Amino acid sequence: MEIVEILFTASFWAAAIRIASPLIFATLGEVICERAGVLNLGIEGIMVAGAFAGWMAVYSGTGLWVGVGVAMFVGMCFGLLHSTLTVPFGLSQHVVGLGVTLLATSSTYYAYRLALPEVTSPPKIEAFQPFEIPLLHKIPLIGEALFSQTPLTYLAFALVVIVSFVLYRTPLGLAVRAAGENPNAVAAQGLSVTAIRMSAVIVGSGLMAVGGAFLTMSAFDSFFFEMVNGRGWICIALVVFGSWRPGKALLGAVLFAAFDALQIRVQQTSFGAVVPYQIFLMMPYILSILALVIISRRAAVPAALMVPFNKGER
Amino acid sequence: MRLEPITDPSLARKLGFPFVALCATFISASLLAMIAGANPFSVLYLILKGAFGSSFAILETLNRATPLIFTGLAVAVAFRAKFWNIGAEAQLYVGALMTVLLGTGVLPWPSAVLLPVLALTAILAGAVLLLIPALLKTRFGVDEVVTTLLFNFIFLLFISMLLEGPLKDPMGMGWPKSARLIDEARLPRIFDGLRLHWGFGLAIISAVLIWLIQTRSTLGYEMRAVGLNRQAAAFAGIPVNRVLLQTALLSGGLAALAGFSEVAGVKASLTLDLSPGYGYTGIIVAMLALLNPLGVVVAALFVAGIFVGADSMSRAADVPTYLADMMLAIALLLMVLAIMLTRFRIVRD
């Protein structure tokens, strides 16, 4: 079987890890927001803004890591906007999120047209190059897949560990999780639910933007319209799939990415010649919905997700 | 700070904040135009002129508003019951698909019979499509935001598959495009020789009907109660799940009419660019209308005006057309803030 052969090639798994990286950043960002009780549907637009901001910074002469910082900062600004409207003012998180997505996407395209008028093929930058981790990259299959990636991929995996540690092993993480489970208890401790939720959304949005920047600064070396292409929405599903846990979300992202990498390769086999390519493209979305159906029954949804907190009101 | 509900907001408060929100939208649009190096006043003037400045412009705006009224109503109906239908785009396409399936010659009937049949099958298909996420929600508790959103992607790929396969027009010069509707399946023009078609009339009638349902019927009352507080509604004996399913049927059917009206009234065939995101823009329309069905008509005209006006402004003043989308995003965010401020007072403590 051609499909089974594909599963045993290192290049397939390397591609899967590469495709998973932006999803990991953005899903972690969304996990942080939702753990604190805020659904952030601005994710798709924030990724677009991050993709453009990081790339534009590098194109105008900053270093690559400064570009990542710029992307993160832009994402945090949109996080500030989202959280100001949804947390102290308690506006509908669905509507504000979609508004932020539209604003971030359109202002990015607007800025792109102003910065580069009349450009048909966007200029390229010197993107992050793969960095082979000494010794480890020589392990067959796993080495090439995991340890010959760009630095941003290593950062994504490191962040899964860091975010897990902070969420489950520190007082700060406890406060964030409590803000999403039982905000009244947080307030009773003398902590500000508003401050915790807003900070979580701002930090989370920063990570989403870095996920977007991965596309322009690591996966490709240029910015295109529609390049985020629904990845943000997939991350929303990945958060549910991962039961709001960073580790499981990582697993979900890699599985999803593996499927994506597989469909590209299967299209070129004899099997792909018979089945329309749209079927393969549909599969990740259909699987996401099936996963939601299976997981929703026992999902650990943060109890106060999407419930605005107004001090003095029970 | 803390929010304190206002039990009886004054009329000045109810109208004042939304008005300020709209003014602020226009001011920010002018500032954005300035960044692009254009004269902010002339940009606003050009947008207005492009949208409402001539009878041609007005008809173009009415035409563009038609699908937005349908999708805006679809979203308003659903959001009123706090059923978050983000999938109007997919429902629009399923409506268009039914119109093309039955309107290209399979049913050789006269217009008076064929058009209602097409509209009804479109409504049915849209309703069924939204029923799936609604059932997933009531049966398994799956969040409808994610499912309706993902359905948009799935359904567009499905349409793309059909257009490159069984539905592909052999006369289409290789483009992924369906065959054309027969003449009997085309919506007639309202005025001879002008582009405005009866889809617009149908949209207005739908808005009035939905308004009547919401204000005069038991279903309207139940939908409102479910939206205000699901637990309280269940406690009061309202069958919450049944109301949610009925809401979904109504919402999906309305969104599908947008697809029917665009195909039968304007395009005559199905392509993948039938809708430039009318399903998503419907959310903005519904929010600007404060979820009021009659307000949806006004809001759709406003939004369509910005799109049509910004197109012609962009050519004249050399400002990127994305200004229109930015204006709508700003209007949306400021409007939800304004609605909140009409109902709550900010108290410092």
Listed as own residue / partner, the contacts of B105-110 with beta carbons closer than 8 Å and 24 or more positions apart are B105/B179, B105/B182, B108/B182, B108/B184, B109/B184, B110/B184
User: Would an 8 Å CB–CB cutoff place B34 in contact with chain A?
Assistant: no
The per-residue pLDDT for A297 is: 66
B41 falls within a domain: no
Domain that holds residue B272: 66-290
Q: How far apart are the first and last CA of chain B?
A: 6
Number of domains chain B contains:
1
A306 falls within a domain: no
3-state secondary structure of B106: coil
Number of domains chain A contains:
1
Which B residues in the span 185-244 are in contact with A, Cβ-Cβ below 8 Å?
A: none
Q: How many CB atoms lie within 10 A of CB B176?
A: 18
Q: For residue B180, what is the DSSP state?
A: P
* pTM for this entry: 0.92
Given an 8 Å threshold on Cβ–Cβ distance, is B161 in contact with A276?
A: yes
The per-residue pLDDT for B67 is: 97
Using one digit for the tens of pLDDT, what is the confidence trace for B64-107? 999 999 999 999 999 999 899 999 999 999 999 999 999 988 88
The per-residue pLDDT for A1 is: 62
What is the distance between the alpha carbons of residues A175 and A177, in angstroms, rounded to a whole number?
6
Q: Which of A285, A290, A311 to mutate to test the interface with B (most CBs of B within 10 A)?
A: A285
3-state secondary structure of B3: strand
Given an 8 Å threshold on Cβ–Cβ distance, is B153 in contact with A233?
A: yes
A235 falls within a domain: yes
When mean pLDDT is compared across A244-253, A270-279, B289-298, the lowest value belongs to A270-279
What is the distance between the alpha carbons of residues B187 and B97, in angstroms, rounded to a whole number?
16
Q: Please give the backbone phi and psi of residue A6, each rounded to the nearest 5 degrees, phi first.
A: -60, -40
What is the distance between the alpha carbons of residues A144 and B240, in angstroms, rounded to a whole number?
54
Q: Using an 8 Å Cβ cutoff, are B270 and B178 in contact?
A: yes
Q: At which residue do the structure tokens 């985020």 appear?
A: A228
All residues at 6 or more sequence positions from B10 whose CB lies less than 8 Å from its CB, including other chains: none
* pLDDT beyond 70 at A24: yes
The ipTM assigned to this model is 0.91
| pLDDT averaged per 10 residues, chain B (length 349) | 81 87 92 90 89 90 96 95 92 96 88 91 95 90 86 93 86 80 86 82 96 92 88 88 92 96 92 91 91 95 93 88 93 92 82
Facing residue for A310 by CB, picked from B2, B160, B329: B2
The per-residue pLDDT for A314 is: 47
All residues at 6 or more sequence positions from A193 whose CB lies less than 8 Å from its CB, including other chains: A179, A183, A186, A187, A309, A311
Q: For residue B86, what is the DSSP state?
A: -
CB burial of residue B234 (10 Å; 0-12, 13-18, 19+)? middle
Which residue(s) pair with B345 in the sheet? B4
B56 falls within a domain: no
Using one digit for the tens of pLDDT, what is the confidence trace for A126-155? 889 888 778 777 787 777 777 888 999 999
A144 falls within a domain: no
Q: Name the token pair of B193.
A: 């020789």
Q: Give residue A268's pLDDT band: very low, low, confident or very high (50, 70, 90).
A: confident
Give the residue-averaged pLDDT of A286-299: 77
- Please tell me which residue of chain B has the smallest CA distance to A239: B146
The distance of A244 to chain B (nearest Cα, Å) reads: 14
Mean pLDDT for chain A? 89
Q: Name the token pair of B85.
A: 């239908």
> How many Cα neighbours within 13 Å face the side chain of B111?
11
All residues at 6 or more sequence positions from B262 whose CB lies less than 8 Å from its CB, including other chains: B66, B67, B92, B96, B199, B274, B275, B278
Q: Where are the alpha helices (DSSP H) in A116-192?
A: 142-146, 151-169, 171-181, 183-188
All residues at 6 or more sequence positions from A290 whose CB lies less than 8 Å from its CB, including other chains: none
Size of interface A-B (CB pairs under 8 A): 125
Q: For residue B2, what is the DSSP state?
A: E
What is the distance between the alpha carbons of residues B99 and B269, in angstroms, rounded to a whole number?
9
Domain that holds residue A277: 2-115+151-296
Q: Name the token pair of A80.
A: 């500030």
Q: Using an 8 Å Cβ cutoff, are B94 and B155 in contact?
A: yes
What is the torsional sign of CA B299, B301, B305, B308?
positive
CB burial of residue B3 (10 Å; 0-12, 13-18, 19+)? buried
Q: Please give the backbone phi and psi of residue A305, each rounded to the nearest 5 degrees, phi first.
A: -60, 130
B37 falls within a domain: no
**Residues in chain A within 8 Å Cβ distance of B287:** 95
B256 falls within a domain: yes
Q: Please give the backbone phi and psi of residue A145, each rounded to the nearest 5 degrees, phi first.
A: -70, -45
Instruction: Please report, rounded to a whole number, the percentage of residues in chain A having pLDDT higher than 90.
Output: 58
A29 falls within a domain: yes
Given an 8 Å threshold on Cβ–Cβ distance, is B322 in contact with A107?
A: yes
- Cα Rg, chain B, nearest whole Å: 21
CATH number at residue A81: 1.10.3470.10
A25 falls within a domain: yes
User: Would an 8 Å CB–CB cutoff place B5 in contact with chain A?
Assistant: no
B223 falls within a domain: yes
What is the distance between the alpha carbons of residues A82 and A38, in angstroms, rounded to a whole number?
10
DSSP string, A16-53: HHHHHHHHHHHHHHHHHHHHTT---TTHHHHHHHHHHH
Give the residue-averaged pLDDT of A99-114: 95
Q: What angle do CA B10, B13, B14 make, to 5 degrees?
A: 85
What is the distance between the alpha carbons of residues B180 and B100, in angstroms, rounded to a whole number?
8
Q: Using an 8 Å Cβ cutoff, are A15 and A145 in contact?
A: no
